[in-house]
Structures are given as structure tokens and as C-alpha cells.
Chains A and B, each alone.
Chain A
Amino acid sequence: MREALRRRLQSWTRPRQPEPLPVLLRRNRIYVLPTATGLFFGLLLGTMGLGALNFNNNPALLLALLLAGAAQASLIAAHMQLSGVRLLAVSADPVAAGQDLRLKIALDTVDARVRRGLRVAAADAAVHATLDSHGTTVELLLPTQRRGWLALPRLELATVQPLGLARAWSYVWPNQSVLVYPAAEAQAPPLPAPAGGKGKPRPARAGDDVHHLRNYRAGDTPRSVAWKASARRDTLLVREYEQQLSGELVLDWQATHGLPHEQRIRRLARWVDDAEREGRRYGLLLPGQPAIAMGLGALQRHRCLRALALLPGETAHG
């Protein structure tokens, strides 16, 4: 019932469909309604005004009207808080499904007025921002469930400033999707044998010549951390060994034969991460797609995970 009502309301409010960014909030899409406090306040003023009129008590009437005037002005001020705000762009770094997506929303204003206490919300997440003429970027955590393109939900920009008596809000519905990578398999077998058959992967171990130190990256083993150096510099540093770990890997779809469809994707995602962590060059072979050439590094990782994320679902694939 509530849900139906909510949908009905949504179909009345603007925007009714996704729209390109940037979006300037104008008066035709800003809604203002009194808050619960505002309704209480209105009841209060009504009682006061009626009493004052009945007793022809002019100071009391003046007082009630003054308050009512200020409350009315606060409705308009709430509207002005939103009007002229521009939602410039929305972006997010891809994350694995199940993790929270960090949605970056860039806002600015067309005029010089400072907007305080702007609430940006999507689904259940909300964040407050103060906006001046330089603009600002807020980050909203959106939960993700499944890999692939995630259409952005309708974003709500709202404010109860200045008095909390009225709430002005507006929706922005970016016609934009963000990519969600497949979740890596938690318990996975080790990486498959290298494609070139140059022997088993040799784990990187201490004792080798240290070439240089680099910053810690997620996934580095504790043993590779250079603790002394880290303590000196107050940041976690990791020894990088001179010799490249040998063996180029081809992560092949066929190698995961026998697993359910989604499981195969998650295994490959895990292997991509593992290969990345061990610093081994790798390529990816997926059905119905050109092979992804050997490579290593963030770009390669994104390329592979993107391909995995966009693999069609099982039903489509057969």
C-alpha cells in the first residue's frame, strides 16, 4: 500500500525519467512542504491568531502574524536553498558486487549564496553538504548486489533550512550507469599453471635483492612489508623485488569448466586479483569476446574485471 502510494507519487514528481547531467535545479522541479514541526507550528499560530482575533488583542495578533510571516518566508528560503544548485556530474570507482559503491556527486551553484545543510540522498544512504560558489563533491555509499551495469537511482536533494519548518526537495535522475565488478570468490584454488610452461610460479620470498620500496597496496602480504623503513617514514612500505616473478598466465574461461556460470566469473575475478597481487602478467580469454592481451597493473585489472562484469548472464549465454 505504502509502496504503491510512493510509486504513484514518484510518477507525479519530476523528473519522470532519467536525464543527462548537468542538471540545474529550477523552480519547476523543487517541491516544498511543511515538516512535522512546521505543521505543529502552523497549528500553534492558528490557535494564537484565532484567540487574538476573538479577543481583539492586537499585540497578540501582530505577534502571531509576524511569526506566520517569518514561517512563510522560511518556506521560500527553503526553496531558495535548492534553487540554483547544479548537479554537475556523478561518478564512481567500480567495486566488487556486495561492496558499497562510493558515489561521488559534484555539486555547484549558479550564484554566490552559500547553501548549508543540503542533504543528498539515494535509496537509504544520505549525506549532508555545505555548498558555496566553489562547489563541492559529496560521497554517497550505495549498496550493490550484482555485477554489471547499475543504473543510478533517483537522487534526492533536500533541505530543511533555515528553520526546520519546511522541507524543500528535488529529484535528479542521472541517465548514467556505474559498473559493478563481479565479487571475487572467497576460497579459490591457486592460480593455474603459466601458459608458457616455464614451471610453477615461484613465490616471492625474502632474501632476494631488494630493489626499491613502494607504498603498500591492498593485498600485499604482511611479510613483504618493510617494517623498519615503514616506521621511519610513518607509512606502510613494501619491498619490491627486482626480479619479475616469472610466468605469464592466461586466465581461460575453459579452465573453470564444471562450475556454475556465476561461480566461474567469480573465480576468474579472484584469479585476476591474485595475479595482480603476485605481480604476474596475465591475459584473459572469455567466450564470444576477443582475448585480452597480456598485461599487468591497474589498467589491465580494470580491463579484465570489466569484461567479466559485462559477461551476459547464464540464460542469455546458454
Chain B
Amino acid sequence: MAERTPSPPMQRAARRHVLLATASCLLPLLLQLPPELGWGFGIAAVLVAAASWRRPLHAVFRILLGIGVLLAVVAVAPGIGRDTACALLAGMLALKPSETMTLRDGRSLVGFALFAPFATFLLDQGPLSLVLALAAVLLALLALQCLARDEAQVHEADGPRWWSGSTGVLRLLALGLPLALAAFWLFPRLPSPLWGLPERALAKPGLSDNMTPGGFLDLMNDDSPAARVQFLGAEPRPQDMYWRGPVLWEFDGRSWTQAHWLQPAPAAPMRPAGPGWDYQLDLEPTETRQMIVLDLPTAVPANAHVSIDFSTWSDVPLNNVSRWRMRSAPPAAAEPDLHPMLRDRALRLPRDFNPRTLALGRQWRREAGGDATGVADARIAERALAWITREFAYTLDVPLAGRNEVDDFLFDRKQGYCEHFSSAFVVLMRAAGVPARVVTGFAGGYRNPVGGYWLVLNSDAHAWAEIWLPRRGWVRVDPTAAVAPERVYDTLADRQPGRIGAFDGLVPMFNAGDWLRRGWNDFVLGFNAQRQQDLLKPFGLGKLQGQHLILLFALLAGLALAWMAWLIARGERERDPLLRAWHRLDAHYRRLGRGRAQHEPAQAWADRVAADQPRAGEHLGSLSRRFSDARYAASTEARERLLRDLDRHRP
């Protein structure tokens, strides 16, 4: 094996380019990390780059820094997951410039740095990330170009300045674009992943499968979108917009949880009260299989199913933006016959918690009496609502829960938010012998006038109650709405997203921005195997098998490559058409072994040919003369005619 020559050191300009490219690759990833890691690594990267500007950091120091990064990741985001892996990548990239000195180092740094935008997309697929990633790619290519110039000793003076350098890179991107797009739209997609996406170690905010009163607050301050809804046909009134998420059955005295064993059971029978709503739901990724649906679902796509408590589940985790076409309707009767086992579940309460509430419930039951038609049950619920309306207040400022949280809330504090209201209401109902359960999800929504669609934000998170009445089945009761309807049916101006305090000048910008984001979701993120098939429908290629798709892809990729090849061929084309024609003529003769030698004047060549082949030579002689005149003398010869004659002549 030959001794490898050491790589030459980077010039200052190249080093600047490499560091800039690394920084721009790192930036989108840092924005997605927990803020303390993002800022920490960002600052560390700047310090390390500055400290190692002249000479690499000492090895011991580098090892210490590496250990520091490891510890920081473990401390802030413990566990093994996608986000921890990304944080580790970011940390290592932040330290890498400390030992990047030679051309080879520079190249490998740029290469590894390109993984950072890729990792970013595993965490977030928003347009901002893409714009930053595109800038990073551009800068990375510029850095590679700069390194290549260094290697070839193209010096700054005769090399182009950075902007003309970037036009070169942009040209390369433009050249590659047809191929990239053909591959993007047509490269066969996997209908299901070969291996799963590693989980995030840190939970993403979103509806969880349990509810502990006091726990929603994070979510209710989060103005990021949870879903976008486009109604096809009738739109529901704001007070009908209950987006049903997890249904919580089990109460342990503090927390409500789902009854997971109910999940596979098919949807309970339901009689709709009206024609219902047809809508398209774009769900933001939550990484769970839990979906939200409007009120009660009547039709869901094949890759989702409705379970017995009308909660809806996707067949695969919602890791990406997903689009669902669904129908919902308000119920006239939902599960009018309750199975005794479910009824038992819906009445169960832990024994040693909230004694005052249990006593009150029993007292109300005694006063209302028993009634098989459910009139007494309805009266108990009304009584509870009336009490809540009369004496309770809505606030987000709630002290930490004690042991008997429901007792505290109902008899002492008398203020709280949706989690407290729904939890207390359901406990009270169960105590009074009325089957009840908690439903969480979102309520309301914001209508974006720009796209004419509804936006459901995470801050719309809500919890309400359902009670079961004979013949009517499950009935939605929202005790929070009894106290603070504006908190629930909010399309009010003060909850308009994009508004800062009393200033709503930014709202149109928010509207347009969210509309763009929706287009982005639709156009790029939601593209999958199914949409790929749909894309080809207008061309009459509706039912395309895998191998046909591959053929089509190969065809288009071939065309894109041919276009590139044409560029190659054009690159060496003689510019002067007259010379081109002259060379063609020469080529004809060359095939007969009578080509013109490089040094031979046109006339001499013609004479030589004429000596062997008097007939052809005659024409050739005059053509050569005309050609020489046209090229070297001030000739009046019409170029067009000469061109034509040159092309016509055959030996």
C-alpha cells in the first residue's frame, strides 16, 4: 500500500466556508432541540471555532468537551430516542471544528454536517426547517467548491468571488433539479416502513391518554396547530365543534386513564340526528395512533377504526402529517343499550377518595329517586350544572391538587378549568349512580379566512363529560361551558392566533402564513404511496403497478440524464457554424481515408484529393477555395449558400 500523502491544510477562505456551512447545517437542528441544549451547543460551537481558529485544540481538551456534550445530553434529555440521537449529533458537530485543519478534514466535516438538516427533518418538517436546510445545502456545496479550488490551487485572485461562486453552485442545483424532482414524484415509495421510527425520548406536547387535573396547562399555552379541517358542504356551528380524542373511563382518585382493553371493540351502534358533516382532516403528527374526530364519527377511512367509546384510532402511528376524509354527525342516540359490564365500568369509583362528593351524590340520588326512563338521571345532571353555573368560576390559576382533589374543588375552591370541571362532574355523576366518563380533545377552532378552513390549535385542548341516559345513550355535558362558554366556543377576537395583546395587525400575516403552511403540508409532507398513485390519475395511469411505476421513473430519470448529456455534448460544440460544416465535410472524407491532416491547408488537401479522385476533387477544390475565402479573405460569399453547399457535398 502506497504511503498516503498528508492532506494539505485548508486556506483561510476555505476554512471560513467550511465553518459557515457547518454552522448553517447545525442551526435548524439546534432550533429543534430543547432550548437549553440548543443554546448550549450553539454557544459551544462558536467558542470552539474561535479557540481553534489558529491551531487545533489539545486532544485532552477535546475529549473533555466530548464528555461534556455526552453529559449535557444525558442530563437534559435522558433516554434513548430520536431527539437524544439528534442532540448528540448536534453536540459532536459543534465540537468537530476543533480538529478540522486539512482539506480532507474539511470535506468530511461538510459531509457529516449535511446529516444535521436530515436529522432536523426527523424532528420537524416545517417550511422554516426546509428553508434553513436549503440554505445549509447551498453553503455546504459552496464550501465543497472552495475546497476543490484549494486542492487545484485556484487562488482567490483568479478564482471568482463568492457570489459568482454561488451562481456556479446554483447552476449545479438547477441542472440536477429535473432528476431530483422526477425521483421525488416517481421513485417508488414504501407503503409501510421497513423499520420503525425511533421514538422520541421526550414526549411531544399533545393530548395524552390520561388526564390529571392540572396537567393540561402546558398544552393550553401552546399555540401550535393540532389539526386543520376543511369542510366539504355544511359547516358545524362553533358550539358543535367538539373534537373527540381519548375517552377516559378509569379513575384512581387522581388521574383519569383510558380503558385500553376496550380499544379493539367495534363502534357502538349510533343513530345520527342529522345529515352530519363531511370533512377533510389534516392531523399534525402526534406519534400516537390516537386521532381526533368531530363529535361522533359515522364514516372513517379504511386505515382507521372507531372503537366502542367512539374514540378513533389510526392503524399506524401518526408520525407525519396525515390526511383523513371523514364523516361525523351529532347523535340522536349513541349506544342506547349499555352493556352491564360497561355500565359497571362507568359507575366505578375508588373507595377512599373524595368522601364529601360521594356523599353528595348519594344524597342527590335519594332526593331524585329511581327512574327507568332516565328522567331522574337527567334531573341530577341538570342540578349539578345549575350548581356549577351558580357558584363556580373559571381560572387557570389553580393551586396544586391535594389528596381529595374533587372535594377540594367542589366544596372549597370552586374555581378551576376544564379538567377540574369535567373530572368533578363525572365523579359526582358516578356517585349519584349515573354512568359517566370523561372525554378529552379539542373544542372550537379558528376559521382562517385566507384558505377557508378551520384551524384547531393545541391551546383549544378541552375536557368534557359524557353521561349515559336510558334510550338516549351517551349525552355530552360540558360543565366548563356552563361557567365560561367563551373559553370553549372561542372564535372570539381575543383568542385569535397571531395576535399580540391588543394588537391584531399581525393576524392577516398569521392567516396567510398558516395557509402557506397548509399548502406545504398538502403538497410535500402528505405525499405518500397513495398520493403518488393519485398524482398519475390525470394522465390515465390510475392503476399503476410497482414495476410500471419503476419503468415510468426510469423513463423520466433517463430523460433528465439525457438532458444533462446533451449539455455535455453541447459543451464542446464548435461555435462557428461554418467551421462546423467544414469539419463535417472532413469527417465524410476521413471515413474514406482521405481526411485532411491537421497541418494541411484547405487548398492543398483539395488538390491531394483531386489527384486521387478527380471527380470529387473538383467540387472539393471549389468548396475549399470558397471556404478559405469566407474565413480568411474579405469575401462577399453568402455564408448561407456556402454552408448549404458544404453540407450537401458527398465524396
Contacts and interface: CB of A to CB of B under 8 A. Distances in A.
Nearest to B160: A116
A57 B125 contact: yes
A165 B565 CA distance: 18
B564 A163 contact: no
Contact of A61 (B152, B184, B575): B184
Given A44-B111, A64-B118, A110-B575, A76 B149 contact: no
Which of B151, B527, B575: most chain A CB closer than 10 A? Answer: B151
A210 interface: no
A60 B111 CA distance: 15
B144 A63 contact: no
Interface string A62-84: 11111111111110110110011
A67 B137 contact: yes
Nearest to B565: A76
A32 B320 CA distance: 40
Interface in A81-112: 83-84, 110-111
B528 A56 contact: yes
A72 B564 contact: yes
B189 interface: yes
B147 to A, nearest CB: 6
Q: How large is the interface on A (under 10, 10 to 19, 20 to 34, 35 or more residues)?
A: 35 or more
Contacts of A51: 118
A55 B193 contact: yes
Interface string B174-195: 0111111101100101100111
Contacts of A162: 145, 148, 168-169, 172
B141 A70 contact: yes
A80 B568 contact: yes
A301 interface: no
A242 to B, nearest CB: 47
A128 B574 contact: no
Interface in B153-183: 153-154, 158-159, 168-169, 171-173, 175-181, 183
Interface stretch (A21-29, A182-190, A226-234, A253-261): A21-29
Contacts of B575: 110-111
Interface residues of B, number: 68
A79 B190 contact: no
A197 B349 CA distance: 138
B428 interface: no
Interface in B193-231: 193-195, 197
Contact of B568 (A48, A76, A164): A76
A182 B432 CA distance: 119
A58 interface: yes
Contacts of A118: 152
Interface in A135-171: 159-165
B572 interface: yes
B418 interface: no
Given A53-B189, A83-B572, A59 B130 contact: yes
A130 interface: yes
- Tell me which of B114, B117, B148, B561 has the highest count of chain A C-beta atoms within 10 A of its own C-beta: B148
B549 to A, nearest CB: 13
Contacts of B154: 116-117, 128, 130, 161
A73 B158 contact: no
B564 A84 contact: no
A124 to B, nearest CB: 12
B303 interface: no
A119 interface: yes
B525 A48 contact: no
A67 B181 CA distance: 12
Given A63-B133, A67-B114, A73 B564 contact: yes
B169 A70 contact: yes
B130 to A, nearest CB: 5
Contact of A77 (B125, B133, B172): B172
B159 A59 contact: no
A40 B111 CA distance: 8
A37 interface: yes
Interface string B107-133: 110010011011001100100011001
Contacts of A163: 141, 144-145, 148, 172
Contact of B180 (A52, A54, A65): A65
Given A40-B108, A76-B567, A161-B148, A57 B141 contact: no
A165 B144 contact: yes
B593 interface: no
Counting from the closest, the 10 A-B pairs by CB-CB distance are A69-B176, A117-B152, A164-B148, A73-B175, A69-B180, A65-B180, A60-B121, A84-B572, A83-B572, A80-B571
Interface of B: 107-108, 111, 114-115, 117-118, 121-122, 125, 129-130, 133-134, 137, 141, 144-145, 147-149, 151-154, 158-159, 168-169, 171-173, 175-181, 183-184, 187, 189-190, 193-195, 197, 319-320, 524-525, 527-529, 561, 564-565, 567-569, 571-575, 597-598
Interface of A: 20-22, 24-27, 37, 40-41, 44, 48, 51-74, 76-77, 79-80, 83-84, 110-111, 113, 116-119, 128, 130, 159-165
14 contacts: A20-B597, A44-B114, A56-B190, A59-B121, A59-B133, A68-B183, A69-B178, A70-B137, A73-B172, A73-B175, A79-B568, A80-B567, A162-B172, A163-B172
Given A67-B137, A69-B178, A117-B151, 10 more contacts: A52-B121, A59-B130, A59-B524, A62-B184, A68-B176, A70-B175, A111-B571, A113-B571, A130-B154, A162-B168
